[in-house]
Amino acid sequence: TLWVSSPERIDVISLIERRVIDQIDLSDFGDINSVSIHDGMAAVAVASSQITDPGRVYFFDSVSRAASGYVSVGALPDMVTFTRDGMKVLVANEGEPSDDYSVDPEGSVSIIDLSNGVASATVTTADFTGFNADQADLVTAGLRVFGPGATLAQDMEPEYIAVSIDNTKAWVALQENNAVAELDIAAGEITAIVPLGFKDH
């Protein structure tokens, strides 16, 4: 089967029958942003209806489509992905501000530990507050910080995640910020921000 996310539901498509065979409605909570499947488990990132509030990651059996629980994560969870061994789920929490910037949550990456199952899952959230004091140097190196009155941590907006082959690190695209962050998965910490600077094309 193929799981396809839309804002209000997941369409489960049979690749053999080439049709939608099931739908999972999560519209009561908010908008679905991403879905990932590993070894019979599906993880679905859902933003709160108030996008500046914490979001959730819901878990399902990818065969029976039965729900197995959810955990709370950071504001506006965007991409969700499993580590290669399936023991952890990483979530890019974009943390977009409200339109008038009166509320501006911090961007972050949530690390969901599934080693004891969904019912006993724990969540560690890696944020960018440790880099606030380095903002001037990082901007000089090519980082983009642009929100009015925002700290560096508030302005970082994680979008996509790639996991290393050995499951020890991940790299997180900070699309609006022209940078990539390095995540130590075991420590649950952002260890570096690498500005991409200007490119002469």
pLDDT reading at 82 higher than 90? yes
> Across residues 69-92, what is the average pLDDT?
97
> Across residues 71-87, what is the average pLDDT?
97
pLDDT reading at 199 higher than 80? no
Measured in whole angstroms, the distance separating CA 85 from the mean position of its chain's CA atoms is 18
CA 16, CA 25: separation in Å to the nearest integer? Answer: 23
Residue 198's pLDDT is what?
Answer: 81
Residue 21: pLDDT band by 50, 70, 90 thresholds?
Answer: very high
